[in-house]
Structure 1
Amino acid sequence: MDAERQARALGSLRGLAVGDAFGACFDDAINHGALRSRTLLPGPWLWTDDTQMACSIFAVLSAHGRIDQDSLARSFADRYDIYRRYGPGTSRILRLIRHKGYPWRELARQARDGRESWGNGASMRVAPLGAWFADDPDRVIDEAAASAVVTHTHPDAVAGAVAVALAAAITAADPPMRGIHFLDAVAAHTPSGPVRDKIRQARLITDSTAAATELGVGHHTSALDTVPFCLWIVAHHAPDFAAACWTAAAAGGDIDTTCAIVGGILAAAPPTWLARCEPLPDWATTRSVATRPSND
């Protein structure tokens, strides 16, 4: 069972990395011509903090078979890399854990001057977790929430992470749901609140321009203005990985994050895209589930 879960999650992680790195290509205005013409840029495409943190989630699941929050916080902090373009709030938390040894629970509660972070950081990294627990939907919800609150404790951020994990689990199922049924299934198990409301709003939208305008594309880097749009993209373009990522990128906003979420949910990136993407790090992918501590 663990080997099957790990294989599903690794596929999602690879899809997330490709989407992330593809989207990051268009953060620079110099490449917007390639975006308009839908021309793939030459590699290597370099991924960002989205993938770096998703690798920690995959590594912790491989080691423990669950989200051990202390281990996840340590991995996030130990693998923190300033050049991966972390958001300022998460960057502060990870630097204080790494260099000062501050407790992650206290730091997460203090985010945004004590208002807690509602950012999309917990959502962008969580898809492999959903794929891992695709055979246990209730576990998806609990483990996704546990992964989120290590850095993002606001209810919207937690709901966004749960929604993305559910989406990845549904997509990994056989057969996967599509279209409105997909959005309904995600919304049905997402915690109540603005994120769930917006996912339900998404089912009424048929045009990508309207979806970007009404749902948001991550301009505020919040879960609320990122996750519903990504789920709309998947609902309308699955299983076409390339079409989904091109549509997400064309909408603008937080492109690497929207494409990372979409890529992690859809998982199966085209071989030509995989070949251009920076490889996943050995530290995340070489540990076998056979080496998992026996007391976990």
Structure 2
Amino acid sequence: MYCALPSPARSFSRLAGAALGTMCGDALGMPVEGWSAARIARVHGRLDRMLPGRLAAGSYTDDSQMMIAILETLAQRGGLDPAYLARRFLARYEPIRGYGGRINALMHRLAAGEPWDRVATDSWGNGGAMRVGVLGVFFAKDRESCRAAALTQCRITHTHSRALAGAAAQVLAVRRAARLGSKGRAPAPGRFVEHIAAQVENLDAHVAGRLRAMPPLPLGDEAAAREGLTRAYACDVSAAEAVPPALGAFLAARDPEQAMVLAVSLGGDADTIGAMAGAMAGAYWGLEALPAQWLEALENQPLGRDAVLELCRNICDENY
């Protein structure tokens, strides 16, 4: 089990910011998942409000549901316990949230009693990265434990080197965002990207190269950033083509709203790219900076917004 250490970067505001940022980006992108950037712009213009899609407006998808299972594991176990986490994935599993066929089959294998470390497949998808952001805040002080925990949780469902590198890149980006935010320092895009790429190169050189393909990102210019990111990346369900544009959306933004609006405007796997950008933005700017109207619109059923906030409070109270 990987246990966290206290850190100024791991405050309630930043942990809850990463968690609720994940949910906001996920819910914002949910109705346009699979759309092209051009179609999103044509139908919605600037998509900056929660809309209904295959789920009700403000609903989260499998991205956030699996993130919530990670929070439950941290709250109950004080660290990343993969066997416990696999059980939480199964307990929280609702096919309606949009799990793919491969994960549906994996959940049936877990339900049949197969061990957590024998059910994953050699997938290069972004599923290990989409849910991992909160670990970047939880392990903000300890980079090696952060990276190791991200890889372990990924291996429950994904074992391909690109999936592992994508999960590591996402968690280390959230960790760096939380640490910079706690010091009031602005991220320098070039240095930020190179720092993350260097940390994952030994896991998968292709993912590191895709990170280094980041286009110029003029701060606050959504149109220019969207054009550059959609030219550079496929923005699809692969880790190599989803994690970098999420990072780019965060680095190009002046605030959390702009980060998530830009992320979901890229099209493709919009809910996941939005969720990952939201985790970075929430960790950097904190819970208080997330748009109040989005938080109000978020799903708030028994395992919704308020329950997630309570999990974050419990985690922070337990570890200080």
Q: Deviations over 1:102-149 (max 9, x none)?
A: 2222211xx2xxxx0111000100011101111222221111111111
- How do residues 23-34 of structure 1 correspond to structure 2 at under 5 angstroms? 23-27=29-33
Residue identity (%): 29
TM-score (norm. length: structure 2)? 0.80
Which of 87, 95, 99 matches 1:82? 95
User: CA 1:6–1:85 in 2, change beyond 3 Å: closer, same or farther?
Assistant: farther
- Measured after TM superposition, the shift of residue 9 of structure 1 is 2.2
Question: Which letter maps to 2:207?
Answer: V
CA distance in 2, matches of 1:290, 1:271: 22
Alignment partners' CA distance in 2, 1:230 and 1:83: 25
Cα deviation code 1:32-75 (max 9, x no counterpart): 65532445246841110000000011111122232101001010
After superposition, where does 1:2-81 map in structure 2 within 5 Å?
Answer: 5=10, 7=12, 8-27=14-33, 35-38=44-47, 40-41=49-50, 44-81=57-94
Q: Aligned pair 1:243/2:258, yes or no?
A: yes
Q: CA RMSD in A?
A: 2.7
Q: State the distance in 2 between where 1:94 and 1:231 align.
A: 29
| SS in structure 2 at match of 1:180 | helix
Measured in 1, the distance between the counterparts of 2:209 and 2:316 equals: 42
TM-score, length-scaled by structure 1 = 0.86
Cα distance between partner residues in 2 of 1:212 and 1:6: 34
Distance change (3 Å), C-alpha of 1:131 and 1:203: farther
Letter paired with 2:70: I
CA distance in 2, matches of 1:172, 1:81: 31
Hey, what does 1:188 align to over in structure 2?
198
| Offset of residue 260 of structure 1 | 0.5
Whether 1:170 and 2:176 are equivalent positions in the alignment is yes
Aligned counterpart for 1:259 among listed residues 256, 274, 278 = 274
1:278 counterpart residue number: 299
What's the offset of the Cα at 1:234?
1.5
Tell me the number of residue pairs that the alignment of Structure 1 and Structure 2 aligns. 283
Could you tell which deviates more after superposition, 145-154 or 209-218?
A: 209-218
Q: Identify the residue that residue 119 of structure 2 maps to in structure 1.
A: 107
* Greater Cα offset, 10-19 or 274-283: 274-283
* In 2, Cα distance between equivalents of 1:33 and 1:203: 24
Distance 1:177 1:55, change over 3 A: same
Q: Taking structure 1 as reference, are residues 130 and 290 closer, same or farther at Cα in structure 2, changes over 3 Å only?
A: closer
2:50–2:294 CA contact under 8 A, matched in 1: no
CA distance in structure 2 between the aligned counterparts of 1:290 and 1:180, rounded to whole angstroms = 32
Kindly state the Cα deviation for residue 284 of structure 1 after the two structures are TM-superposed.
5.3
Unpaired runs of at least 5, structure 2: 219-223, 283-288
